[in-house]
Amino acid sequence: MIRINEEIKKELSDIIRQDLKDPRIIQTMVSVLNVDTTNDLKYCKIYISVMGNEEQKKGVIEGLKNASGFIRREIARRINLRNTPELIFKIDDSIEYGIRLSKIIDDIKSNTEEEDESNE
């Protein structure tokens, strides 16, 4: 299953980057983070990261849902599977969460350094 998930992830990334023409998708930075396919290959949850605001995230999800038939056909054409799974797109905010945490840590660190300098 891991090999299938990685292959779908690779092909899906290529399809999003090269083949989709929807402005909601191509004008936003979209990354495929993880793919989780059921054992019977009926469903495939695709976790994506979208750098942008909530409106852009919703637009990307709508664009991917609208293009899911095309994406599914492309995956079937590129990967030889007994079934081509139904695609379910989900937003994964873990990268943005990590960036926010990193910024908070940097802010705390710089405030601590400023306090140390003022105490000297």
Q: Which CATH number do you get for residue 48? A: 3.30.300.20
- Flag whether 112 is in a domain: no
Model confidence pLDDT, tens digit, residues 30-88: 999 999 999 999 999 999 999 888 999 999 999 999 999 999 999 999 998 888 999 99
What pLDDT sits at residue 95?
Answer: 77
What pLDDT sits at residue 67?
Answer: 95
- Flag whether 105 is in a domain: no
Q: Does the pLDDT value for residue 120 go beyond 70?
A: no
Share of the chain above pLDDT 90, in %: 67
C-alpha distances (whole Å) from 25 to each of 9, 62, 67, 102 are 17, 9, 10, 27
- Residue 96 tokens read as 């943005």
- Flag whether 118 is in a domain: no
Beta carbons within 8 Å of 33's beta carbon, 6+ residues apart: 47, 48, 49, 92, 94, 95
What pLDDT sits at residue 119?
Answer: 66
- Flag whether 113 is in a domain: no
- Flag whether 38 is in a domain: yes
- Flag whether 120 is in a domain: no
String of DSSP letters for 82-105:
SSPPEEEEEE--HHHHHHHHHHHH
Name residue, tokens 């396919």.
37
- Flag whether 106 is in a domain: no
**What distance in Å separates the CA atoms of residue 77 and residue 67, rounded to the nearest whole number?**
15
Mean pLDDT, the chain, rounded, equals: 90
- Residue 74 tokens read as 């492309």
* Tally of domains within the chain: 1
Beta carbons within 8 Å of 76's beta carbon, 6+ residues apart: 84
